A = this chain, B = another copy of it.
Amino acid sequence: WARAVRGLLLDISGVLYDSGGEGGGVPIAGSAEAVRRIKASGLKLRFCTNETQATREKFVKKLQGLGFDISVAEVTAPAPAACRLLKERGLRPHLLVHDDVVPEFAEIDKTNPNCVVIGDAAENFSYANLNKAFQVLIGLEKPVLISLGEGRYYKETDGLKLDVGAYMKALEYACDVQAEVVGKPAKPFFESALAEMGVPPEQAIMIGDDIVSDVGGAQQCGMRAVQVRTGKYRPSDENHPQVKPDAYVNNLAEAVDTILSQM
């Protein structure tokens, strides 16, 4: 699975670090070193995240603080993709997102909303806020719901947490609509990341901890995909009825060892 590769896409949460807790997260052993070795090898590299709890600036600063060699320009994330879509279609969103990602939507007209954008709002997923988003949607003649990802849950240092996908499903059901997903595993999202690297899908490998969003999504685009046994990985993933990764590795460091040894 590791041959003839020119570019790598890395998921961040659960691959580079485990999020949550006091300091905002804990690096996964060997991952910071692995990123440095990828960069030294001449392979193209892109970070591909559904993280929507912070602006990319803030998120990248946190990762740098944890010892990672990463810059904003290397990160593909859902909020900028959503902004492009809103502008193209003249949509004015009601935002149900984390406070820290609101600045990504600074340029967008939010008066008199004609759609709802939902992200991983975490503590902002209160009863009152979810009702407010519901009331905006149900009041529209044709409800439009845009979701920054469709993840089921993710792992923080203090346990598994519900992700945006669960709340997206709640609003879909209440309003009888289907959300438009702009993060992983949506095809256009992976395609932007590949275009930004300048590598065709058959020469790229996605490395992630989410069997559906990371592995399944990347394979749908013609890429190879590897699941790490870190982050939200669970042993039952290895019997997933729909998705079979090209390989399993214990962690990012092991994936990079194998890839570099075959170059």
* Identical copies in the complex: 2
Please tell me if the beta carbons of A162 and B130 are within 8 angstroms of each other in the complex.
yes
> A4 at interface (Cβ–Cβ under 8 A)?
no
Q: For A122, what are the chain B residues with a Cβ–Cβ distance below 8 Å? A: 127
Partner of A153, one of B159, B167, B174: B174
Determine the chain B residues whose CB is within 8 A of the CB of A152 once the complex forms.
173-176
Measured between beta carbons, the chain B residues less than 8 angstroms from A163 are: 174
B123–A161 CB distance below 8 A: no
Q: Quote the shortest CB–CB distance from A70 to chain B (angstroms).
A: 29
A95-153 contacts to B, CB under 8 A, are 122-127, 130-131, 134-135, 138, 152-153
Tell me the minimal C-beta distance from A133 to chain B in angstroms.
9
Which chain B residues lie closer than 8 Å to A125 at the CB level?
127, 130
Smallest CB separation, A131 vs chain B (Å): 6
Whether B173 and A169, one on each chain, are in contact in the complex, defined by CB atoms closer than 8 angstroms, is yes
Q: CA–CA, A88 to B161, complex, Å?
A: 32
Say yes or no: B170 contacts A167, CB within 8 Å: yes
> Is A260 part of the binding interface, using a Cβ–Cβ cutoff of 8 Å?
no
Proximity string of chain A (159-192) to chain B, C-beta cutoff 8 Å, 1 when within and 0 when not: 1111101110111111110000000000000000
Residues on B with beta carbons closer than 8 Å to the beta carbon of A161: 131
The CA of A124 and the CA of B130, in the complex, are separated in Å by 13
Instruction: List CB contacts (< 8 Å) of A63-79 with chain B.
Output: none
Which B-chain residue is minimally distant from A127 (CB atoms)? B125
Report the 4 A-B pairs with minimum CB-CB distance, sorted nearest first: A166-B170, A169-B173, A170-B170, A166-B174
Which residues does A use to contact B, with CB under 8 Å?
Answer: 122-127, 130-131, 134-135, 138, 152-153, 159-163, 165-167, 169-176
Given contacts A123-B127, A134-B160, A169-B172, 17 further A-B contacts (CB under 8 A): A122-B127, A126-B127, A127-B162, A131-B159, A131-B162, A134-B153, A134-B166, A138-B153, A138-B160, A152-B175, A153-B174, A162-B174, A165-B174, A166-B170, A169-B169, A169-B170, A170-B170
Give 15 A-B contacts (CB < 8 Å), ordered by A residue.
Answer: A125-B127, A126-B127, A131-B162, A134-B153, A134-B160, A135-B160, A138-B153, A152-B173, A152-B175, A153-B174, A163-B174, A166-B174, A167-B170, A169-B170, A169-B172
